[in-house]
Chain A
Amino acid sequence: MSERILSSKLYIGIWATLMCLTVITAAVSFIDLGPFNTVVALVIATVKASLVILFFMHVKYTHERMTKVVIVAAFFFLLLLLALSMADYTTRFLA
């Protein structure tokens, strides 16, 4: 992943985007969007995390496919943990 040296302009661009998204997510939380406040906050957080992973952590430019498999697997199992736990806890007292 290293033969490619990214330009410092790209890094600063990503940094500026992350800073803007931070201000936006804090500001939007004061506006009443009903149930969508949490959705917006989590979407913004996920965009920020993706930018960090793809550019700061160089995953977009790695040619080692195994690394990408490990990352996707890690998030898949995290999702499994959260989704199946919530499927249990949110339906326990329905009857």
Chain B
Amino acid sequence: MSDSPIAVEPHGPELHGPELHGPELRHHFADVEQQRDAASLGMWLFLATEIMFFGGMFCAYLVYRYWHFHEFAAGSRSLDIYLGTINTAVLICSSLTVALGVRAAQMGKQKLLVVYLLLTLVFGLAFLGIKGKEWYDKYKEHHIPGASFNADDIVKEYPQIPINQQSEQTYFSLYFAMTGLHALHMVIGVGLFSVIAYLAMKGRYNSHYYTPVENAGLYWHFVDIVWIYLFPLLYLIDRKPLK
């Protein structure tokens, strides 16, 4: 029906109701297909605003990295690349379970859907746990910007790199702002998926109606994409051997 978006002839309430098309179809849509396309378009509009939201931070990052490249390179070296890589892998796994979960919903396999939703929650929480460990390490090293910030250890470790401690704080400010905003999105995603997993357990979704699963999935994939860029930009600025 998507080629005739406004579709149907004018008609009264006698042609509507659960008997004719199931309770999931809203009155103003021609069919379930059109309703789903509209929901997904709305979700993408929201994600477009999210792209601009994160875009401001990426822009600030670019400008300061251009101005203080040495400090950004040294700060990047001080991050734990192994935990960063593992976290990237964890998020990619969670994206797979989301995609397979939406597929299970499309096929009406309700139990499988619940399994994939719970797996997604496990991966999401694992990501937040590893991120928390990394932040705690930075706290212990006095790398959190503020009164107790101290990058003497980085200066000592990389004598070849000219480091200004003020600019080093700029790197860590952006590091915490960007990973923090991303982690906030992860926390919201985990909350979202908890509700959807609960509703899926109660049998709320079937092959005709799974819009919340699909749209929450789009959100989760978006948050994954943000991390796909944050990982090289924060962890891999300059890892090559120093001369």
| Residues of A that sit less than 8 Å from B by CB | 1-3, 5-6, 8, 11-12, 14-15, 18-19, 22-23, 25-26, 29-33, 37-38, 41-42, 44-45, 48-49, 52-53, 55-57, 62-64, 66-67, 70-71, 73-75, 77-78, 81-82, 85-86, 89-90
Contact = CB atoms under 8 A, between A and B. Distances in A.
The interface residues of chain A, by DSSP majority, are classed as: helix
A15 B96 contact: yes
Interface string B87-106: 01100110110111001001
Given A15-B93, A71-B44, A41 B228 contact: no
Contacts of B95: 15, 18, 52, 56
A48 B228 contact: yes
A64 B41 contact: yes
B103 A2 contact: no
The CB with the most chain A CB atoms within 10 A, among B44, B59, B100, is that of: B44
Interface of B: 2, 33, 36-37, 40-41, 44-45, 47-48, 51-52, 55-56, 58-59, 62-63, 66-67, 81, 84-85, 88-89, 92-93, 95-96, 98-100, 103, 106-107, 214, 217-218, 221-222, 224-225, 228-229, 231-233, 236-241
Contacts of B236: 25-26, 29, 37, 41
Contact of B225 (A30, A52, A86): A52
6 contacts: A11-B99, A41-B236, A66-B41, A70-B44, A81-B55, A85-B63
A42 to B, nearest CB: 7
Contacts of A29: 81, 232, 236, 239-240
The CB with the most chain B CB atoms within 10 A, among A57, A71, A73, is that of: A57
B221 A78 contact: no
A85 B99 CA distance: 36
Nearest to B237: A38
Lowest 3 CB-CB distances: which A-B pairs, in order? A74-B48, A41-B232, A32-B240
Given A41-B236, A49-B225, A67 B41 contact: yes
A44 B89 CA distance: 14
Nearest to B82: A26
B231 A45 contact: yes
A67 B44 contact: yes
B44 to A, nearest CB: 5
A75 to B, nearest CB: 7
A48 B236 CA distance: 16
A82 B240 contact: no
A38 to B, nearest CB: 8
Contact of B103 (A8, A45, A57, A89): A8
B228 A90 contact: no
Contact of B59 (A33, A70, A85): A85
A37 B238 contact: yes
A89 B66 contact: yes
Nearest to A71: B44
A63 to B, nearest CB: 6
Contact of B41 (A8, A70, A74): A70
